[in-house]
Structure 1
Amino acid sequence: MGRWAPDARGRLEYAALELYTEAGFERTTVKEIAQRAGLTERTFFRHFADKREVLFPGNRQLQEVLEQAVTRSSAALTPAEAVTAALLELSGLMEDRRELARRRQTVIAAHPELQERELAKLASWSQTLTDALMRRGTAQPEARLAAEAGLAVFKTAFESWIATADPQHTLGQFVGDAFDDLGRLFARS
C-alpha cells in the first residue's frame, strides 16, 4: 500500500483492534500495527503518540463537539438540558462505530492502564462541559454537577448501546432513556 494511501488513521485503528484482540494489547507492537495496516511505523507516529492512543482517537475533537454544543444551546435551556443536548450530539457522531466501540471497550476492560486512560478522557469531557456551562453563566457547583451527572448517564447508555444486539436502538435513544431513568430516580413523590 502506498505511503499516502487514504484513511491511514482509520486503517491503523482497525489493525490495532484486530491485533489487540488476537494477540493481546501487551504483546502487540507498533510495528505490527503499521504492517497490518499496510503502513510504516513513521506513519503510525504521525497519527498516534503510542499504541494506547489508538484506542482514544479524536478526544480533542470530541471535547470540541461537547463545548460547541453547550455554547450553541439556547439560553432558555437549563444546565442539565444543555448537557443533554451536547451528549445527544456526540452520540450522533458515534452511531456508525458501534462494533468498533464494542471491540475497543473489550480491550480497555482487560487492562487497568487503559481503564485509567479512559477515566482521564471522561474527566476531560467533564471539565469541558463544566467550563462551557460556566461561560453560559452557570455557577461552578451546578455546572460540575450537571456535567458529572450527564457523563454518568452517557456511560450507562454507552454500555447498554454496545451490549445490545438491536441495531435499531441508537446510542441517542439509550442516552434519552437513561436521562429519563435518572429523572424518575430523583423525582419527588
Structure 2
Amino acid sequence: MVRWEPDAAGRLREAAMALYAEQGYDGTTVAGIADRAGVTARTFFRHFADKREVLFAGSEGLEQVMVAALVATPVEAGPMEAVAAGVLAAGEFFEGRHDHSRRRQAVIAATPELREREFIKMASLVAAFGAALRERGVPSARAALAAETGVTVFRVSFERWVDGPDADIVDILRETLAELTDLTGASGLRPADLAE
C-alpha cells in the first residue's frame, strides 16, 4: 500500500458513503472504510476523528460561508435581508454536490445518532447567525427570531433540493424565501389580531 495516496480524504468519503448504503452506518467500521479506500486505518484518522465525521467534515466551512455573507451585507440592510444573504450564500458551497448530499442525507435520516449531530449543526448555525446579527446592533430577541427563521428556510430548502431532481439550490432557496414572504406578508395578519 502506498503511504501517501493522492486524495485519500475524498476516497475515504466515497468508500464510507458506499459502505453506509450497503450495510448501514452502524454496520460500517473505520477499518472497513479504510480497506475499501485502499488506505490504512491510521490514514483514516489523519483525515477524520471518527466515522461520523466523514459525513460532517466541512460543516464549519458552510457555516463560515453563510455567516460571512450575512456580515458583508450593507449596514442599512434589515435583519432578514442580512439573513437571506447568508442563506443564499450556501448555494456556492453545494454547487456540484447534489448526488453526494442526497446520499449523505439518506444515511443521516436512517440513523438517530446522526440526526442528533445534524440538529447540533443547525443549532450552531442559528447561534452564529444570531451573534452576527447582534454585532450589527439587532436586539437579542429579534436577532434570535431572524436567525431561527433563516436556518429554517435553509433546512427546508435543502430538504427540497436533496429530495428532488438535480437543480440549482439557489433557485430553491429563493423560492423558499419568497414563500416565507408570502406567508408573513400576504396573510394580512397584524400583531393586534393575535391578541383577539
Bin of the TM-score, shorter chain as denominator length = over 0.9
For residues 154 and 11 of structure 2, the distance between their equivalents in structure 1, rounded to whole angstroms, comes to 27
Q: Which amino acid aligns with 2:128?
A: T
For residues 119 and 27 of structure 1, the distance between their equivalents in structure 2, rounded to whole angstroms, comes to 22
* Aligned counterpart, 1:132: 132
The answer to whether the 8 A contact 1:66-1:128 is kept is: no
* Aligned counterpart, 2:181: 183
How do residues 150-165 of structure 1 correspond to structure 2 at under 5 angstroms?
A: 150-165=150-165
For residues 5 and 74 of structure 1, the distance between their equivalents in structure 2, rounded to whole angstroms, comes to 45
* Aligned counterpart, 2:143: 143
How do residues 2-17 of structure 1 correspond to structure 2 at under 5 angstroms?
A: 2-17=2-17
The answer to whether the 8 A contact 1:69-1:89 is kept is: yes
Question: What CA deviation, in whole Å up to 9, does each residue of 1:42-89 have, x standing for no partner?
Answer: 111111111111111112222221221122111121111111111111
The answer to whether the 8 A contact 1:12-1:34 is kept is: yes
* Aligned counterpart, 2:194: none
The answer to whether the 8 A contact 1:153-1:175 is kept is: yes
Deviation at 1:178, TM superposition (A): 0.4
Deviation at 1:31, TM superposition (A): 0.7
Q: TM-score, normalised by structure 2?
A: 0.91
Deviation at 1:172, TM superposition (A): 0.7
Q: Which amino acid aligns with 1:87?
A: V
Specify every segment of 5 or more residues in structure 1 that has no aligned partner in the other structure, as ranges. Answer: none
Q: Which amino acid aligns with 1:56?
A: F
Question: Could you list the runs of 4 or more consecutive aligned residues of structure 1 that deviate by over 4 angstroms after TM superposition?
Answer: none
Q: Which amino acid aligns with 2:176?
A: A
Q: Which amino acid aligns with 2:118?
A: E
Q: Which amino acid aligns with 2:119?
A: L
Q: TM-score, normalised by structure 1?
A: 0.94
Indicate the SS of the match to 1:96. Answer: coil
For residues 61 and 92 of structure 2, the distance between their equivalents in structure 1, rounded to whole angstroms, comes to 14
How big is the alpha-carbon RMSD for the aligned residues of Structure 1 and Structure 2?
A: 1.3
Question: What CA deviation, in whole Å up to 9, does each residue of 1:135-185 have, x standing for no partner?
Answer: 1111111111111101111111111111112x3x31111111001001111
Structure 1 or 2, whichever has the larger Rg, is 2
For residues 134 and 24 of structure 1, the distance between their equivalents in structure 2, rounded to whole angstroms, comes to 42
Length, aligned pairs only: 187
The answer to whether the 8 A contact 1:70-1:132 is kept is: yes
Deviation at 1:103, TM superposition (A): 0.5
Deviation at 1:2, TM superposition (A): 2.8
Identity fraction in percent: 45
